[in-house]
Amino acid sequence: MLADDSCVKITKPALNLFLYAAIRMALTPRLCVVFEDAGAGITAAKVLEMNTMGIGPAKRVGSADYIYYSVFDPRLEDII
């Protein structure tokens, strides 16, 4: 599922967007994987104990569970 700021009234770094996506998929946050390119988004997802895939330089997404330079780099084995 793709969700962005237009889906919620209060945007990141608030948790609303990630909770919205989890609820729409009928999943608990812990079962979700977030692909994020901003530190605030990584922080919000980790508060909810979501799995995080940081896209971009480690300086920006360094607290993610996995860090990739490009959206084309993640492997399925990292996600499941």
pTM: 0.83
Total number of domains constituting the chain: 1
| pLDDT the model gives residue 34 | 92
Q: What are the tens digits of pLDDT across the range 43-80? A: 999 999 999 999 999 999 989 999 999 999 988 887 77
* Kind plus residue range of the DSSP H or E element containing 11: none
Question: CA angle at residue 20 from 16 to 21, to 5 degrees?
Answer: 125
* pLDDT over threshold 80, residue 12: no
Q: Residue 17 belongs to a domain with what CATH number?
A: 3.40.50.1000
**Domain range holding 57?**
5-79
User: Could you give the 3-state DSSP secondary structure of residue 42?
Assistant: helix
Cβ atoms of 35 and 51 within 8 Å: the answer is no
Give me the pLDDT at residue 47, please: 94
